[in-house]
Chains A and B, each alone.
Chain A
Amino acid sequence: EVQLLQSGGGLVRPGGSLRLSCAGSGFVFDKYGMNWVRQAPGKGLEWVAAISGRGDTTYYADSVKGRFTISRDNSKNTLYLQLNSLRPDDTAVYYCALDSWGQGTLVIVSS
């Protein structure tokens, strides 16, 4: 069974940083590209970033380009999202996603 277990997140001040993690199991981790998707409170789904299975190709939404970095450590079966220069409008639940999705982790950006 595919499982994606997320960690990280929390409350951070504007301009601050956080790192989100997503540990995968139940599948051959390095064979699949993966995504981060976020959902602001009461809103719809917004794709954030994607990375290839080997980690050598990355893509970003314009809203996060230059501030967020997606990466993966295939030796640890773990996907990451580094969030820098956070803004209040980055407040959302962040999900790692394949066919199945992680449980989500809440990021709140507030002073």
Chain B
Amino acid sequence: EIVLTQTPLFLSVTPGQPASISCKSSQSLLHRDGKTYLYWYLQKPGQPPQLLIYEASNRFFGVPDRFSGSDSGTDFTLTISRVEAEDFGVYYCMQSIQIPLTFGQGTKVDIK
């Protein structure tokens, strides 16, 4: 089973400042088709998770361009260039290259 380790687990951010979350994978998520099967989700209280980034670095439809994803081997980063008040919630990374699909532990972000 692929283990995804997120850091930090808690993040308090000031609006207008940047923020980043790390997700380290125990195995490569690069498929032979050239795609990297790492996703980022944001879950707000009482809501289902919403997809932000797919295949490590592609923004999903309607996601603001302040969100970006990057990867370096088995290390993945979600960056918010300028945090806004609506960005609070829990962020999860997820891999789908191998069954079972697995998630990181989640990073809770609150806004100062």
Residues of chain A in range 38-73 having any CB-CB distance to chain B below 8 Å? 44-47, 50, 59, 61-62
Is there contact, CB below 8 Å, between B99 and A99?
no
Is there contact, CB below 8 Å, between A50 and B99?
yes
**Nearest CB on A from B35, distance (A):** 14
**B85 surroundings in chain A (CB, below 8 A):** none
**Nearest CB on A from B102, distance (A):** 7
Cβ 8 A contact of A61, one of B49, B60, B100: B100
Question: In the complex the two chains form, what is the Cα distance from A37 to B104 in whole Å?
Answer: 14
Is there contact, CB below 8 Å, between A47 and B103?
yes
Is there contact, CB below 8 Å, between B54 and A102?
no
Is there contact, CB below 8 Å, between A99 and B51?
yes
Using A44-B92, A45-B94 as known contacts, say yes or no to A101 and B103 having CB atoms under 8 A apart.
no
Is there contact, CB below 8 Å, between B100 and A101?
no
For the complex, is B20 an interface residue (Cβ under 8 Å from A)? no
Cβ 8 A contact of B48, one of A50, A59, A61, A95: A95
**B105 surroundings in chain A (CB, below 8 A):** 44
For the complex, is A111 an interface residue (Cβ under 8 Å from B)? no
Cβ 8 A contact of A99, one of B60, B92, B101: B60
0/1 string, B37-75, CB within 8 A of A gives 1: 000000100001111001000001000000000000000
Question: In the complex the two chains form, what is the Cα distance from A102 to B48 in whole Å?
Answer: 7
Cβ 8 A contact of B54, one of A46, A99, A104: A99
**A99 surroundings in chain B (CB, below 8 A):** 51, 54, 60
Interface residues of chain B, those whose CB is within 8 Å of chain A, are 43, 48-51, 54, 60, 92, 94, 99-106
Q: Which 9 A-B pairs have the closest CB atoms?
A: A101-B48, A47-B101, A45-B103, A59-B99, A44-B106, A99-B51, A61-B100, A104-B48, A47-B100
